[in-house]
Structures are given as structure tokens and as C-alpha cells.
Amino acid sequence: MLINAAAIYTGKELIKDSYVYIEDGIIRDVGPQPAPEEIQDATLLIGGEGRVVVPGLTAVADVAAYPLRYMRPKLTARMEFYRRLKDEELFTASLPGVYELHMMGVTTALVEGLSPSLSLSLARRIGGFYGVARPSCSEEFSLQPILRGLVTIGGEGCPGGQVQDGDRGLLVLTGGGGYVMDGLGDVLSISQRLRRTAGLDEALIEPNRPAEIAVYDASKPPAMLIYRAGEDEIRRIYTSHAALESLIAGMEILVEMGEHMRIGRKHLHEAVQLYRRLGYA
């Protein structure tokens, strides 16, 4: 996969008029144009005029409690909701939340849950990178190698934890009435801080790193021509309302041409039907 861009922010530096080459889900090369001749015939070419490439984000999210989010439930209330649902119901309930996170540029989601089963199902059936956010007052468990990262989350009635319920200083998108990042400031720095808390390496666009990449279209409003700006402005592209064109996690393209590749209308309809049966829609 060869991504051509007007600008790439690697997480360390800004490279204008640039490219990223990915092979087997690993970033092999990144640099200024022109791309070396031997990679110009890549199997898949994406990007183009006005595209801005930045690292994918990491967030803690209560995706299975998506139908409850406007009720702003406390952590213990969400735990009770999780206990009520079967594994397949938790999976279906989570799909709108995962869809929304991916459309925000999140490539690694630390999914709140009482076991790793939901994160495993999402990794195997939807794609992307997943870890687990375990409520601090729930039973301990271990992770399978397919999952990335474990944090404990504490809140009212469930004390302790590495991160606290609703702590947006660590991009914890729980119990807040919807997943929004506006007003959070430098979300990339916040995301990288969360990765350190979870024991993950930084999501950087540099050789020999797994691909966690968001491609934004800045060829038209909003955020038109942001690629001509400096590093500080480009780091804010996540909250600029620019259109997310592609989202790449390893070997998987989660979003392409602004459309989710794994979660479609059928899945969202099934989630709404479940919400209605549970009395939340």
C-alpha cells in the first residue's frame, strides 16, 4: 500500500509532499516525494491531492453501553448493563460505538468490559486493534496475544484503577453523553499518554512500526488547505471536522472513501433493533 499525501505528521516531525509505504501491515518507508520507483507500483494506491496523514488515535471506550450514553451512566451502572447481556448482544450493541470511534480516527480501542470476550470478537470480526479496560472492582483476567493493552478503570462505587471514569485527559470516552473530542486540545498527545499507561509503544508513522494511520481529505472544506499550515495546526486535524477518508490498522483498511468497510447499514439496523428490545430506543 502506497499513500501519497500533501503532508504527513509522523508523531515526531512534519513532512510536506510525502508518502508512506506499507507492506504486510508494517510501515516500511516514509519520506518526501518522489517515492522510490520500486514501490510506485504498489498493489493499492490511496491518498492524493490535499491529503493529510497522521497517526491513529487510542481511546478507552464503553462501546457496549452506547445506547446508554446520553443517560451518562456511572461505571457501576454500566457494569450491571454488561451483566444483563449475552456475548452476542454485547457485540451487536457495541457496533455503533466502534463505527463512531473509527470515524474519529481511533485505530486502537481499549474496550470496557468484564472479560476480554468483546474485544476478541471485535478484533476477529470487525478489525482494528483492541485492548481491554477492566473495571477495577471486577474479577481479574489475562489477555490473549491478539489483544493489545490492558488498563484498569475506576469510578464512583468502583474505586482505584489506572484511569478514572470520564477522565478526558486520557481520552477516556465513557459516560459523557457521546463520543466527542472537541475542546480536548491536543488529542494526539493525550492518546500517546494513554498508550504509555496501557504499556503500548507510541503510534508513530515511521519504518518498522505497525500501521496505525488516519488519512484526512483537506482538499475541500472543512479544514481546506490545512496541509499548508504548520505542525501545530496539522496536529489539530482530528478536531477540525476535516473528512476522514481512510483509516488503516495493520493490514486492515477500516474506513475507505469515508465509508466503514466492516460495519454497514445492516449491522447498525440490528443494533437499533436490540436497543428497542432492551427499551433504549
Residues 219-268: pLDDT tens digits? 999 999 999 999 999 999 999 999 999 999 999 999 999 999 999 999 99
* CA angle 179–183–189, rounded 5-degree value: 85
pTM, two decimals, is: 0.96
Range of the domain at 214: 2-55+203-250
Total domain count for the chain? 2
**In the structure grid, which three cell numbers stand for residue 149, read together?**
493493552
Q: What is the CATH number of the domain that holds 42?
A: 2.30.40.10
Same domain, yes or no: 159 and 97: yes
> 43-79: per-residue pLDDT in tens?
788 888 999 999 999 999 999 999 998 888 999 999 9
Domain match, 76 and 193 both? yes
| pLDDT of 175 over the 70 cut | no
All 3 cell numbers of residue 261? 468497510
Q: Is 270 within the bounds of a domain?
A: no
Residue at 24 is within a domain: yes
Distance between CA 255 and CA 252 in Å, rounded? 9
Number of H helices and E strands in the chain, helices first, is: 6, 15
16 and 111, same domain (yes or no): no
Q: C-alpha grid cell for residue 157?
A: 462505587
Q: Is the pLDDT of residue 91 over 90?
A: yes
Residue identified by cell 504509555 is 196
Residue with cell 479496560: 133
